[in-house]
Amino acid sequence: MPPLSDATVSSYPARQRWPYRLDPRAKLLGVFFYTLAILVANRPGLLLAMLAAGAGLWLGARLPVRALGAGVRPLFWLALVVFTFQFFFGPGPPDARLGPLSFSSTGAWLGLVAALRLLAVGGAAAFLLVTTEPLELMEATGSLLQPLKRFSLPAEDVSLVLALSLRFIPLLTAEAERISWAQRARGLEWQKGPPWQRLAKRGTFLFPLLVGLFRRAEAVATAMEARAYRRGVARTRLYTRRWRTLEAVFLVLAAALLTYGLSSRWWPELALF
């Protein structure tokens, strides 16, 4: 099994570039607007322009390309499956046949658009996770969900679950890599033998991984109890965050993309490309 350290997306390097100093609430809202804009874009030129805007933001901020690949990689195989399914079973008259299968240019185009949308969503999530600490993301989620507390939504619990889930991503990858190397050092070969034997060997990998995760979860619960964590108790903040011009510009640009995507869908005559 290959090392899994490359899949760690939520590691936060201490840098002074503007994406890291951006208010996490603005980043969360901006990524949400950008994701919606990608999903509602129904024109090829508009979708490519939004993808170019996201790539330009990533490169302009000089974020690590390796982290972008780690964020997109989990969705790559899903995007490939979606493209293949649309390619062979999509709508439109068949343009050619390959044995019992037929494919059309319309289905291929729809599959390509769906695959690009999935990869763009993965890139947007990678931008959020790379530039935001889990604790900051938890605070931003809790702050944005505060208006929903009047509808009995436990905003603090939702933000806490999100933060713990993000925190367990690097722990999960580190634990999986440790177990993998320990088993390989004891002579267990993952790639040898027939498929059923390789599947059985992976079963010996999953059991210690689950045991390790349960141990870590118990340790986290004990630590929270030792720190007197109680549900429903309001938490204080060491720093008070303030909205600046940088957050306003970021949100205006993201909202402009979403607005233009919606207007091009509802009023096609307004679309420029």
Instruction: Name the helix (H) or strand (E) containing 244.
Output: none
Alpha helices in the chain (DSSP H): 18-21, 24-40, 44-60, 65-89, 105-131, 134-144, 155-185, 195-226, 245-266
pLDDT on residue 1: 39
Dihedral over Cα of 240, 245, 248, 254: its sign? negative
CA distance readout (Å), 168 to 134, 238, 269: 10, 24, 47
DSSP designation for 80: H
Q: How does 100-111 read in b/e, with b if 16+ C-beta sit within 10 Å?
A: eeebbeebbebb
Smallest CA-to-CA distance from 114 within 136, 89, 134, 138 is with 89
Smallest CA-to-CA distance from 9 within 126, 118, 162 is with 126
The C-alpha atoms of residue 251 and residue 29 are separated, in whole angstroms, by 7
The C-alpha atoms of residue 133 and residue 23 are separated, in whole angstroms, by 11
pLDDT on residue 203: 67
Kindly report, residue by residue over 180-196, the tens digit of the pLDDT: 788 777 776 666 666 66
Q: Which domain holds residue 92?
A: 5-270
Task: Provide the number of structural domains found in the chain.
Answer: 1
Measured in whole angstroms, the distance separating CA 156 from the mean position of its chain's CA atoms is: 21
The C-alpha atoms of residue 118 and residue 115 are separated, in whole angstroms, by 5
Instruction: Name the helix (H) or strand (E) containing 2.
Output: none
The pLDDT tens digits along the chain (273 residues) read 333 444 444 444 445 678 888 888 889 899 999 999 888 887 777 788 888 888 888 887 788 778 777 778 778 888 888 888 887 777 766 766 666 677 777 777 888 888 888 888 888 888 888 888 877 887 888 788 777 777 777 777 777 777 777 777 777 778 888 887 887 777 766 666 666 666 666 667 778 888 888 888 888 888 888 877 777 666 666 667 777 888 888 889 888 888 888 887 776 665 555
The C-alpha atoms of residue 83 and residue 79 are separated, in whole angstroms, by 6
**Please, what is the end-to-end C-alpha distance for the chain in angstroms?**
46
Q: What are phi and psi of 97, to 5 degrees?
A: -130, 145
